[in-house]
Amino acid sequence: MVHDVEAIPQTILIIGTDHIAVERLQTGFAEVGWFVLVEQNCQRALGLMAHLTVSAVCIFDQGNDLESDVASLKSKTQGMLFVLSDNLNADQRLAFYNLGVNHVFVQQALALEVRTVITTLQQQQLMQSLPTVTPIMEAKKWHFCSQSRVLSVDEKVIGSLSYSEAKILKMLIDNRNETLSRERLMMALGRFRPNPEDRTLDRLICNLRKKFKKVCPNTQFILSLYGHGYVFTSPNTTQI
C-alpha cells in the first residue's frame, strides 16, 4: 500500500512579524497544499489555539520573552513545535529542547529549514497512517532503569548500559514515536558544537541496537531518519 502523506491536510501556525520570513514559510507550506495561519504574537496565537487543532507551530525569535512563550505554546498543543532564531547560544538551544521543542532552526537558512519541517511532519504522518501491526516481539515487556542503567526483558536482565548509552535511551523512550534530531541528542551528551566527523552518537545507537537484538534480532527498535535523527518505536518499554 502506498501512503500519500502529502495529500493529508496539515494546519501550520506561524508566529512572527518578519513579513519576508513569514511569507517564505507560507510559500513553502503552500507548495504541499497545507493550510497556514499567521499571528503576530504568542497571546493571539494561544487564543486561536483554544479553538483550533494545529499540526505544528513555528515561532520566530522576536526579542521578547521567547522561553515563556514557548512554554505556553507547548502546554496548549499536541503538535510539533519549531523555534526560529539566529541569536541563541548552545545553552539556550538546549533549554528549548528541554522544554519539548522539536527543533531549533537558524533563520538565515530558512529555505532549508522549511523543507526540514515539511519532511519531519510528513514522516510523522506516515508513521501514524501505517496500519497497526503487532509483531511477535511486542509480547515481550522491556524495562529500563535509568538510575541503575539496567535494561531487562520479561524481568530478565539483558545488560547494563554506559552512562552515555543510558542518557540517549532515556531521551528516546521519553519521546517515543517522535523524531529526535542529532543536535538534540548530542546536546544531551554535552556536545554543544556540531562536528560532522563526530561519530559518538552513531556508536551509541549501534550499541543500543545490539542489546535489543539479543532478544529480538529481526526487529528494529530505533529507526534512523536520514538527515533528521532517530525514532524509538517500542510501545512495550517502560522505565523508572
Identify the CA nearest to 11 among candidates 68, 70, 59, 80.
Answer: 80
Q: Look at residue 121 and give its three-state secondary structure.
A: helix
The DSSP annotation for 192-216 comes to -S--TT--HHHHHHHHHHHHHHTT-
Predicted confidence (pLDDT) per residue in 54-95, tens digit: 888 888 887 768 888 888 888 888 777 888 888 888 778 878
The percentage of the chain sitting over the pLDDT mark of 90, rounded to a whole number, equals: 0
C-alpha cell belonging to residue 152:
531487562
Q: What is the pLDDT of residue 137?
A: 40
Please tell me the distance from the alpha carbon of residue 117 to that of residue 105, in angstroms, as a whole number: 10
Mean pLDDT of 213-217: 78
Spell out the domains of the chain, with CATH numbers in brackets. 5-129 (3.40.50.2300), 136-239 (1.10.10.10)
Asked which of 74-78, 97-101, 103-107, 192-196 is least confident by mean pLDDT, the reply is 192-196
Q: What is the pLDDT of residue 3?
A: 33
Residue 109 has pLDDT above 70, yes or no: no
More confident residue, 2 or 138: 138
